[in-house]
Structure 1
Amino acid sequence: MPSTDDIAPARIRAGDVVMTVILLGVFSGAFLLARDWPFRAAFFPRLLSVAGICFSVLKLIQFAVLLWRPARSGPVEPPAARPVHADDEEQDDQSLEYVFGSAGARAWTAAVAWVAGFFVGLWLVGIYVIVPVFALAYLRTAGKASWPAAALYAAVAGGVLWLAFTRLLAVPMPAGVL
């Protein structure tokens, strides 16, 4: 087994850095927007945005360490061979990095359209309407779920949101412009 001194540094992709910087900006903007809200309304957004800022900064620090770490010299031994099973290859094909790296323009367009549709719906009709409607629509079309399963999930998602934010926390949620 190779020692950690013999392992080559990980490759840093520009897209990873760009996405991390964008997320840092989004979380920072969310924190600044919530700054003027009443404490109870701003607590959850502030908590999430601070966590997002911390994780984004940690990821940027990790990129910097990988970038400035001196390259190790010397031979690198291959890892010990292990038997390859058919399900190992299938699992590798479904890894997150593989999925993001191999998705075509059509898949990316569909994903961005779903996200944009959710946020437009959130702005128009509010969270209590868009979450169940979006869950039902997404599960039926993209997830190919059955009507009963999609409807149950949508009802539970809407109910949990209403119960948590309206009844338990008494936190005002976006109502929408309509």
Structure 2
Amino acid sequence: MTSDSERSLRKWPMADLVATVALVALFAWALWASTEWSLRAALFPRMVTAFGLALALFHLILLLARWRAGSGATGDHGVAPISDAEDDPLDYAFATAGRRAWTVSLAWIAAFFLALYVLGVYVTAPLFTVSYLRLTVRASWRLSVTYAVVVGVVLYAVFEWLLTLPKPEGLFL
């Protein structure tokens, strides 16, 4: 017999499925949106979104194949029970994360994309980096600021100097 906690960990990893479907939708929308841009402006976004869409679809196919293969005789959808974080840390994190952890994570993601829309990539990336590292990870100021500066310089160098591609400017620029 299995205990209730083991049974709850054997459930289908719904968070993985939801995240994968959301990524498929996001990459498909971004790829479709880039069709309105000129070839030069859309080259990099199309490459990134096509690659991301292909990976997300591949992951979705793997998830559905695993579900279909395990749904016959076992009844537990082929998902092995997770006893602790050493077995598979990612599955353990998804299986045991509470509502607060999900809410905080989704709030960070939403805040990043909102700031990207409003402030642009050159302001958002370093600002988000410092904020996330200081408030969530509790990293030192030195590490946070250094990391943010590197992120800002790399983004600027790649988009402005190397590729000369358009990037999200934000509402105010």
- Give the TM-score normalised by structure 2: 0.77
Q: CA deviation at 1:60?
A: 3.1
Q: CA deviation at 1:64?
A: 4.0
Aligned to 2:81: none
- Give the TM-score normalised by structure 1: 0.75
State the number of aligned residues. Answer: 154
Distance 1:107 1:157, change over 3 A: same
RMSD: 2.5
Q: CA deviation at 1:144?
A: 0.7
Mark the runs of 5 or more structure 2 residues left unpaired by the alignment.
Answer: 1-9, 75-83
Aligned to 1:109: 103
Q: Does 1:147 align with 2:109?
A: no
Cα contact 2:85–2:92 (8 A) shared by 1: no
Equivalent of 1:168, from 153, 162, 167? 162
Q: CA deviation at 1:40?
A: 2.4
Distance 1:137 1:53, change over 3 A: same
Aligned to 1:7: none
Mark the runs of 5 or more structure 1 residues left unpaired by the alignment.
Answer: 1-9, 74-88
**Identity across matched positions, percent:** 37
Write the mapping of 1:12-31 to structure 2, written as runs, cut at 5 A: 12-31=12-31
Task: Please state whether the residue corresponding to 2:137 is helix, strand or coil.
Answer: coil
Aligned to 1:91: 86
Could you say which structure has the larger radius of gyration?
Answer: 1
Distance 1:91 1:26, change over 3 A: same
Cα contact 2:125–2:148 (8 A) shared by 1: yes
Structure 2 counterpart of 1:111, which letter? S
Deviates more, 1:50-59 or 1:96-105: 50-59
